[in-house]
Structures are given as structure tokens and as C-alpha cells.
């Protein structure tokens, strides 16, 4: 495991995409959180400070009205972790340097998790900085509610990155994996959700299925209780943060297990 | 110094066998050439040996399979194909990356870059490299851990004539130091200059393995050129001794099955005059074509056939 980790670490810091992706993540998070803070600041008398801060650091995702933007960029690290190997034939060089495939897989998972978690935390801190610039956070930065959102966003991003990595192994194609990690949470889950809701209105009670959609369930880790208002209107009853997180964890685990099983068996 | 032992290697792609029941051995101190027509399974065999492809059989390097090695590059250096690198990771960083997992000091990275002549482009991106430069980077990677065993798939690919000469000398030197060098090539002339031992495969099966000299000597195309005005007497005498004389276009005969000195003795015994007596060693190319002809998958139709044996001419 040691050699594999050293290899993966060196791999990460000897390609340009690592640097521009980190830069892109932080610059976009700063720009959008400044805009969000500006918008929230002008209306912050209507919501509690911790909700305002949560909204700024997640760019609205804590209200359940938008996806966790930063996670989608950070997930590219997971996709590239294996995507670059397959795209450039590097996998053969990698496996002649580190022939233990489980170690290669584990090292990539560890580095993806660590990097995604650190970057997600950095994004939250950038969001807090933006919030402080535009409105009185009134002690919200030290409130448990805000840090629960931070924890949720960090855990979600780490798992999201791992899903990206697993997709890259499963399809052995960088572009395909990027498409999957973007389309499943943003399009597939939402379309299925709408379909299920239509069925539910016609008399069948099946909307309870949609709350187990892995990425939707995982998003409950950083959704604030006030999001419940919108959900009530939509007649949608999501899982709580802990059970939602566990559903996403189980999904991520299954995806990783399938990816590892294939990675161990397939030709490089 | 390691003995490579491949045992019963087999691999099929969707039911179509690429390699079947292939066993051979590579000894230290020699360059072992790996020959086979296109698509005969050479690259697949090499990937099987390194555990990159999943298949049957096993390969050990002094008893240890590649996949169980700690710091494998210090034991086995491999060049599998050009361009197993990221196009924007500099040549030096590529080697540093490989070195990082094998406890190889950075000093060695610069050493191998100098050895393959890439020092001046060490910090350039491989996407700008020519095929030959990419090949040199692959060779540098194989040499990185100063391994006792080298497995090289078509290392001469893309190299210019100077590069090929350099590679030949390098591999001979490495073998001379007691290392095991296993190298595939489709350039038979190159192999004839380079290899001491051969492993020849066709359609994924072993055709022959052993010393290259034995391979050439045992080939039917190794013949003795006999020019004699008394062929009417000598011919039947040779046939009696198990020889086979095929007439050549210029009136001489190519005799197979009897060595040169014995032909001389027979000629003397029957009182035949001999004007020319010359052993013609089969070229590696002829021997290779004969050996693999039957197994070749995509064989073209020959334009002309060997002349059929003719009756002996009248005594002149």
C-alpha cells in the first residue's frame, strides 16, 4: 500500500489538470459565493443567519433548490484518477510499477477521498469568507447548524468523487464516466422522481422509492430543515441527513466493490 | 540474475485462442529473441508474463510471479508499447513517478535519461516526442530499476539506424553482465544480429525454442551447394546416403541432408569431380518462414514453387 500511495500522490502532482482543477474549483466557488452572499445579504432579515451562511457556502444546495456545485467539479479528480490511466495507456505503466491491483485501487480511493474532502472544506471556508464580506453572520460561523452543513458537504463530495472514480473504472472511459457522474444525479434521478410523482398522484403510493435515490438521499446531509417547506409543497418526503448519508454510502460502497471486482479481473 | 520460466500460458479473446499452452524458459546471460508472425500472440504473451492480461498458466522470475513482487522495477524492467505515458507529464516526471513506487533514487532518473539520450528533452512533454523518442523513454523506464531481467516488446520500433545499433549494443552488454533479456521483434535481420537464443511461436503455440545456431542448422534450407560435372554418378550416391539434391538454375545442386565434409568423401569414393562445394546456412528469415509457414494465419499465395527434382543429366 505504501508504494501505491507514493505513486498515486506523485501521479497527482505531476499533471497539469490537478492544478487547474483546484484553481477552477476555488475561483468558481469564490465568484459564485460572492454573488450568493450579495443576494442573501440584501434579504438576510428574512432568514436566520445560519441558514443564510449555509446557503452561501453550498451555493443554494442547502435549500434543496440546486445541486452542490463544487462537488461536480471536485468529482473530476475521481474520474481523472482512473480516466487518465485508461485514456493514455498509463495503466500498463502503472501496473508494471505497482503490480498489486488492490493496492493501486485502494491508493486511488484514498487520495480521491482525501483530496475531495480537503477541497470541499476549502470551498465551505471560501463561502464563509464571502458571507462575512456581505452580511452580518451574527455568530453563525460557529454554530453547530452551519458546521453540520459543512460536514455534510464534505462527506457528500468525498463520496461523490469516489462514485466518479468507480464510474471511470466501470466504463474505462473518461468522457463516459464524466457523463455518468453528471447525468445520473442531475438528470436521471430527477426524471425518475417526476415519473414516480406522476404515478403517485394517480393513486399509487410509490414516491417513497425516490427518496432512496442515492445522490438525492446523500444531498440530505447538507439540506437545511427549511428545505422541508418546499418539499411539503411538492409532496416529497426525503430521508433525514443520517439515513440519507447512509444510503449514499451504501451506493458508493456497492459501486466501488463492482469496480474493484472488474479491475482485478480485467485485462489492463 | 533470474531465470524466467513461463508455464502453460494460455489466453483467448472471446473463444478465439491468442496463446495456447505456451511454455518456455529464458536463461540469464543471453539475449533471447521472441519471434512470431504478426498476430501470433507475442504481445499477449508478454502481457500475460507481467500479469497485465488475465489468462491461464504462470510465469516466474527466479520463482516469483511478477504480481507478487515488491518494488518490481528493481527486478524486471518492461517495455510493452510506446506511448504508455501521459502526454503532458514531462519525461523526467514520468520516470520520477515510476521511481516513486519502487524506492529508486532520483539520481537514477537522470542517469537513465542520459543513457537513452533524452537529457536535453527531460523537461519536455512527451506529446511533442517522435516515435523514436517515445521508444527511448520507454526503454529508460525499463532500465530505471537496474533490473536483472528485461522484457521488451519490439524495442527497435521507431528507432533510426543509429538508435537500433545503440540498442543492440546495449542489450548485448546487459546480457553480457549476466542479465536475462527477452526481446520480441519482427525484424529478423535485427534478431539474427542480436539474439543468442530463440523462442518461436505461431498462432499462439510454441514452434521451437533453443539456441539460434541450432535453429538455423536444423532448418531444411541449410544446404550444400555442389557443382560437379559428374552429377550423374554423384547424385544417386548422395541419394543412397539419405541426401536430397535439388537442381539450381545455374546447373549446380543444392544438397540437403548430408553435411559438406561427407559429400566430399562420397564424391571421392565414387570418383566424381567436384568444382564447388559450399555450405549455405539458411538465413534466419528462411528458417523462420519455414517454421512458421504452417501456422501462419494470414498467408499470402506464393508466386512460384520450388523446382521439382529432375532426373540426372547425362554425363558430360
Tell me the pLDDT tens digit for each residue of B197-232: 999 998 889 988 888 888 877 776 678 899 999 988
C-alpha to C-alpha distance for B149 and B143, rounded to whole angstroms: 10
In this predicted structure, the answer to whether residue B311 has a pLDDT above a threshold of 60 is: no
Q: How far is CA A22 from the centre of its chain?
A: 15
Greatest mean pLDDT among A120-134, B222-236, B249-263, B270-284 lies in: A120-134
Q: Where are the beta strands (DSSP E) in B123-213?
A: 149-153, 180-184, 197-202, 205-211
B69–A contact, CB cutoff 8 A: yes
Contacts of B244 (CB under 8 A, 6+ apart): B238, B255, B256, B257, B309
* Shortest CA gap B57–chain A (Å): 15
Tell me what ipTM this predicted complex has.
Answer: 0.87
C-alpha to C-alpha distance for B81 and B71, rounded to whole angstroms: 21
Burial of B202: CB neighbours in 10 Å, binned 0-12, 13-18, 19+: buried
Could you give the 3-state DSSP secondary structure of residue B278? strand
Q: In this structure, are residues A261 and A226 in contact, taking their beta carbons and an 8 Å threshold?
A: no
A60: left (phi over 0), alpha (psi -120 to 50) or beta: left
Of the candidates A186, A167, A174, A135, the residue with the CA atom closest to the CA atom of residue A251: A167
In this predicted structure, the answer to whether residue B302 has a pLDDT above a threshold of 50 is: no
Percent helix / strand / coil, chain B, rounded to 5:
35, 25, 40
C-alpha to C-alpha distance for A189 and A247, rounded to whole angstroms: 14
* Shortest CA gap B4–chain A (Å): 16
Q: Cβ separation of A7 and B68 shorter than 8 Å?
A: no
B15-20 mean pLDDT: 89
* Shortest CA gap A91–chain B (Å): 8
In this predicted structure, the answer to whether residue B295 has a pLDDT above a threshold of 70 is: no
Closest Cβ–Cβ partner in B84, B87, B103 for A92? B84
Closest Cβ–Cβ partner in A6, A84, A267 for B100? A6
Q: Does residue A27 or residue A40 have the better pLDDT?
A: A27
Mean residue pLDDT of chain A comes to 88
Residues of chain B contacting residue A101, judged by C-beta atoms under 8 Å apart = 67
Residues of chain A contacting residue B135, judged by C-beta atoms under 8 Å apart = none
Mean residue pLDDT of chain B comes to 87
Residue of B nearest to A101 (CA): B67
Cell of A191: 426524471
- Tally the residues of chain B: 316
Percent of chain B surpassing pLDDT 70: 91
B275–A contact, CB cutoff 8 A: no
B88–A contact, CB cutoff 8 A: yes
Q: In this structure, are residues B257 and B242 in contact, taking their beta carbons and an 8 Å threshold?
A: yes
For A4, phi then psi, to 5°, come to -65, -40
Q: State the pLDDT at residue B16.
A: 86
Our CA dihedral for B157, B162, B167, B173, rounded to 10 degrees, sits at 170
Our CA dihedral for A82, A84, A174, A119, rounded to 10 degrees, sits at 70
Q: In this structure, are residues A222 and A152 in contact, taking their beta carbons and an 8 Å threshold?
A: yes
DSSP H helices in A88-136: 90-97, 101-134
Q: Which element (helix H / strand E) includes B213?
A: helix B212-218
Q: Cβ separation of A97 and B101 shorter than 8 Å?
A: yes
B296-305 mean pLDDT: 48
A88–B contact, CB cutoff 8 A: yes
Q: Which element (helix H / strand E) includes B254?
A: strand B253-256
Residue of B nearest to A107 (CA): B101
Amino acid at each position: 500500500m505504501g508504494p501505491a500511495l507514493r505513486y498515486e500522490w506523485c501521479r497527482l502532482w505531476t499533471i497539469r489538470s490537478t492544478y487547474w482543477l483546484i484553481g477552477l474549483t476555488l475561483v468558481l466557488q469564490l465568484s459564485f459565493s460572492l454573488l450568493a452572499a450579495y443576494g442573501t445579504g440584501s434579504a438576510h432579515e428574512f432568514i436566520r443567519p445560519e441558514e443564510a451562511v449555509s446557503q452561501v457556502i453550498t451555493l443554494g444546495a442547502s435549500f434543496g433548490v440546486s445541486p452542490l456545485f463544487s462537488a461536480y467539479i471536485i468529482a473530476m479528480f475521481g474520474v481523472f484518477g482512473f480516466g487518465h490511466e485508461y485514456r493514455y495507456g498509463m495503466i500498463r505503466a502503472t501496473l508494471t510499477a505497482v503490480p498489486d491491483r488492490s493496492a493501486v485501487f485502494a491508493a486511488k480511493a484514498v487520495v480521491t477521498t482525501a483530496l475531495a474532502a480537503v477541497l470541499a472544506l476549502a470551498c465551505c471556508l471560501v463561502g464563509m469568507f464571502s458571507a462575512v464580506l456581505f452580511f452580518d453572520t451574527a455568530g453563525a460561523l460557529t454554530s453547530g447548524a452551519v458546521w453540520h452543513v459543512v460536514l455534510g458537504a464534505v462527506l457528500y463530495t468525498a463520496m461523490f468523487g469516489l462514485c466518479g472514480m468507480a464510474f471511470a473504472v466501470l466504463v474505462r472511459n473518461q468522457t463516459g464516466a464524466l457523463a455518468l457522474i453528471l447525468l445520473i444525479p442531475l438528470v436521471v434521478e430527477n426524471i425518475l422522481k417526476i415519473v414516480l410523482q406522476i404515478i403517485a398522484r394517480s393513486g399509487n403510493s410509490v414516491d417513497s422509492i425516490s427518496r432512496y435515490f442515492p445522490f438525492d438521499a446523500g444531498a440530505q446531509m447538507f439540506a437545511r430543515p427549511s428545505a422541508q417547506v418546499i418539499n411539503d409543497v411538492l409532496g416529497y418526503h426525503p430521508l433525514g441527513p443520517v439515513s440519507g448519508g447512509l444510503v449514499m454510502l451504501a451506493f458508493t460502497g456497492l459501486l466501488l466493490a463492482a469496480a474493484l471486482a472488474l479491475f482485478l479481473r480485467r485485462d489492463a | 540474475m533470474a531465470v524466467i520460466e513461463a508455464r502453460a500460458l494460455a489466453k483467448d479473446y472471446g473463444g478465439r485462442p491468442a496463446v495456447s499452452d505456451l511454455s518456455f524458459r529464458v536463461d540469464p546471460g543471453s539475449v533471447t529473441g521472441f519471434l512470431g508472425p504478426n498476430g501470433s500472440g507475442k504481445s499477449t504473451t508478454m502481457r500475460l508474463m507481467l500479469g497485465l492480461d488475465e489468462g491461464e498458466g504462470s510465469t516466474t522470475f527466479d520463482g516469483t510471479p511478477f504480481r507478487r513482487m515488491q518494488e518490481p522495477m528493481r527486478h524486471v524492467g518492461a517495455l510493452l508499447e510506446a506511448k504508455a505515458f501521459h502526454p503532458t507529464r514531462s519525461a523526467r516526471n514520468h520516470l520520477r513517478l515510476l521511481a516513486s513506487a519502487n524506492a529508486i533514487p532520483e539520481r537514477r532518473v537522470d542517469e537513465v535519461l542520459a543513457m537513452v539520450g533524452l537529457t536535453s528533452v527531460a523537461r519536455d512533454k512527451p506529446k511533442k516526442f517522435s516515435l523514436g523518442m517515445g521508444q527511448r523513454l520507454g526503454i529508460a523506464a525499463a532500465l530505471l530499476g537496474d533490473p536483472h531481467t528485461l522484457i521488451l516488446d519490439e524495442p527497435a520500433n521507431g528507432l533510426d539506424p543509429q538508435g537500433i545499433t545503440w540498442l543492440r549494443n546495449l542489450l548485448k552488454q546487459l546480457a553480457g553482465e549476466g542479465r536475462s533479456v527477452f526481446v520480441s521483434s519482427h525484424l529478423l535481420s535485427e534478431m539474427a544480429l542480436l539474439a543468442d537464443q530463440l523462442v518461436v511461436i505461431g498462432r499462439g503455440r510454441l514452434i521451437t525454442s533453443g539456441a539460434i545456431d541450432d535453429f538455423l542448422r536444423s532448418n531444411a534450407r541449410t544446404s550444400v551447394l555442389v557443382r560437379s560435372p559428374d552429377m550423374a554418378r554423384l547424385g544417386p550416391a548422395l541419394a543412397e546416403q539419405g541426401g536430397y539434391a535439388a537442381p539450381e538454375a545455374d546447373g549446380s545442386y543444392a544438397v540437403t541432408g548430408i553435411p559438406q565434409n561427407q559429400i566430399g568423401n562420397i564424391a571421392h569414393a565414387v570418383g566424381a569431380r567436384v568444382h564447388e562445394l559450399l555450405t549455405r546456412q539458411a538465413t534466419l528469415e528462411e528458417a523462420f518462414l519455414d517454421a512458421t509457414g504452417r501456422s501462419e494465419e494470414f498467408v499470402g499465395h506464393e508466386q512460384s514453387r520450388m523446382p521439382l527434382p529432375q532426373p540426372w543429366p547425362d554425363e558430360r
